[in-house]
Structure 1
Amino acid sequence: MLDKQMMVSAETALPGRSTPLSVDDTHFVNQTSLSAAPVNGQQQILLGMGCFWGAERLFWQIEGVVSTSVGYAGGFTPNPTYEEVCTGLTGHSEVVRVVFDPQVLPLEQLLRAFWERHDPTQGMRQGNDLGTQYRSVIYTYSDEQQAIAEQSQADYQSLLSEQQRAVITTEIAPAGPYYYAETYHQQYLAKNPQGYCGLGGTGVCFPPQ
């Protein structure tokens, strides 16, 4: 029986497909393009903190975020479906692609929300959601982002350690391929306000700025 909390290998992952899923490109909340590349100094980053529905809603509400979308990253199967990701046989994490303006929202500030609004110590789960797809991840697009993410992890670990909390298990790595999730997942909690949101933090917060 498959243990969904164990990562698959490239050799045992599902084969996937060469054709991307067809996705509506318009953001349901702010009408931005989901697939537009960052422009005019904007940046992008991929953040995974459990079920991507609640995570995306968290980020689209933050001032300085230009656009969000949800998808799959960090695995092996090309162009996976949600059903495939849920089997644990693709290796992907559920992530939010956040496009943001660092002049308005520095990455350090964005990552404060990331750390505080989920429990990054739980390994291959988030709350009652079990499986590799729910692991905590940060996938970066530059050496500078990587350094900032690693420093923010160290800073948050210090706060957790002061409270005798567990060790952070968040995966921080350069971004690989990002595959958009199906349209019905995009901005899901704006379309379904009473839908499931699994976000829950540790209760440990950064000092006020």
Structure 2
Amino acid sequence: MALDVEKLAIPGVLLIRPKKFGDARGYFSETYNLRAYQEAGIGCTFVQDNQSLSAQKGTIRGLHFQTPPEPQAKLVRVLRGAIFDVAVDLRQGSPTYGKWCGATLTGEAGEQLFVPRGFAHGFCTLVPDTEVAYKVDGFYAPGCDAGLRFDDPDIGVAWPLDGVAALVSDKDAKAPFLRDFQSPFTYEATA
């Protein structure tokens, strides 16, 4: 399985385009292969799959992460619909600390976003009835579950709401701002 991998603006965040093979019946795509992902530089062993359905356009889920000792990397894809997917660097000492990068993922094209440990993750649905699935390399740990405000002006995510009001959970609306967050993640420069 050869992967089309694009490095985004923050090192470590990757946009992946698995190949699709189509004919009159539809298509086939290998959405994950441990060996191919390791060759692409993703050394995680994923241990849990999660899935969500967002009924309304403009639903924002995030910005979520797990803190040590149970951090998680994520491999996100859309099963149906479309999202604008975002990763925010939370690694102290990183030249991109507090910065975000993002990409549009669609069920039709099958793109995936790899979000490393030490990043917050969130997405905004671009169409109704969007289903998102993602793999994580650490089990859910309620005591390590954390988040930041989706509308934090210091992060400044440009959510593509196109005039639609954001629909967020109470938990996400009450999440702390980056300026009030003491990050437990540290940046390790790679050669």
**TM tier, smaller:** 0.3 to 0.5
When the two structures are superposed, what TM-score results if normalisation uses the length of structure 2? 0.32
When the two structures are superposed, what TM-score results if normalisation uses the length of structure 1? 0.30
Relative to its length, the structure with more strand (as a share) is 2
